[in-house]
A and B are shown apart, each in its own frame.
Chain A
Amino acid sequence: MSPSRVVPLTFARGAIEKIAKSRSRRADVKSTRVLDVALFYSYFKTLVGKPVTVELKNDLAIAGTLVSVDQYLNIKLENTRVTDEARYPHMRSVRNCFIRGSVVRYVQLPEAAVDVDILHDATRREARGA
């Protein structure tokens, strides 16, 4: 067995258990950090399965179906298509991807999935609570 084989896989399991644990802890404690991101995190969760276009700070724009999102607003997309494929030849073989939340500039939202009244109410609630 090569050493690189031994280290990472066990490392991965440990990491996953750690994430799971910190998640269940977070569910009990109503910390402000959760409130911080709750509005957009909750909102993006309602968009799972819908088409979005994510525009990154490096100007790459990726259209695809939203698969999942987490509290950092990391995003996972399926059936992705890069808008300007000629400029980003590396992306040609990629059809699903994980995007780190911190590199996102914009997300274009599907018109049908935006209920502005719900957004207004949620925003006012969040502003009061925080």
Chain B
Amino acid sequence: MTDTWHLSAVASLVENLDKRLLVALRDGSNIIGTLRSFDQFANIVLESAVERIIVGKMFSDIPLGLYIVRGENVVLMGDVGANGDLDGTEGLIEVDNAEIIRAREADQTAEAMKGDILKRMDFLDE
């Protein structure tokens, strides 16, 4: 093994094999899973994957199973639990899957309404 091999960022993902990883995707979702495999494009295989949704002070993990993520959609990957014993949910309340989805929808509706009111007020500019 050469020095360049050790310096390679993708290759160093080998240290994360079999560990729980947080993977942020380009669509804004956050997946947590056990890293079982990867390649030079950062395509990855996650076992026992969950999507972690956080809305305000609530969170919920939605089970996804085995996930193969295409590398180009990966924004970043980080160890979960590398920060002492924190897993990132401290101070958050765990709710069930249905509730977090309702909460997220309510959040999105509120945002959309804001935009809608704006649109209706557009005529004021004329």
Query: Which residues of chain A have a CB within 8 Å of any CB of chain B?
Result: 4-5, 7-9, 11-12, 15-16, 18-20, 22-24, 27, 45, 48, 56, 58, 60, 62, 67-72, 74-76, 80, 89-100, 102-103
Interface of B is mostly: mixed
Residues of B contacting A93 with CB < 8 Å? 22, 78, 80-83, 86-89
Binds A, one of B36-44, B94-102, B107-115: B36-44
Task: Pick from A12, A58, A92: contact of B38, CB below 8 A.
Answer: A12
Query: Which residues of chain B have a CB within 8 Å of any CB of chain A?
Result: 1-2, 4-14, 16-17, 22, 24, 26, 28, 30, 36-40, 42, 45, 47, 52, 54, 66, 71-72, 74-83, 86-90, 92
**Chain A min CB distance to B21 (Å):** 9
- Cβ-defined contact, B4 with A96, below 8 A: no
- Cβ-defined contact, A58 with B28, below 8 A: yes
- Cβ-defined contact, B78 with A94, below 8 A: yes
* Measured CA separation A67–B15 after assembly (Å): 13
* Measured CA separation A11–B40 after assembly (Å): 12
Residues of A contacting B6 with CB < 8 Å? 68
Residues of A contacting B80 with CB < 8 Å? 93-94
Residues of A contacting B92 with CB < 8 Å? 89
* Measured CA separation A15–B41 after assembly (Å): 10
Residues of A contacting B10 with CB < 8 Å? 19, 70, 72, 74, 98
Residues of A contacting B81 with CB < 8 Å? 93
- Cβ-defined contact, A100 with B71, below 8 A: yes
Residues of A contacting B89 with CB < 8 Å? 93
**Chain B min CB distance to A104 (Å):** 10
- Cβ-defined contact, A15 with B88, below 8 A: no
Chain A CB within 10 A, most for which of B10, B76, B82? B76
- Cβ-defined contact, B8 with A19, below 8 A: yes
**Chain A min CB distance to B45 (Å):** 5
**Chain B min CB distance to A15 (Å):** 4
- Cβ-defined contact, B47 with A8, below 8 A: yes
- Cβ-defined contact, B40 with A22, below 8 A: yes
- Cβ-defined contact, B79 with A97, below 8 A: yes
Residues of A contacting B79 with CB < 8 Å? 94-97
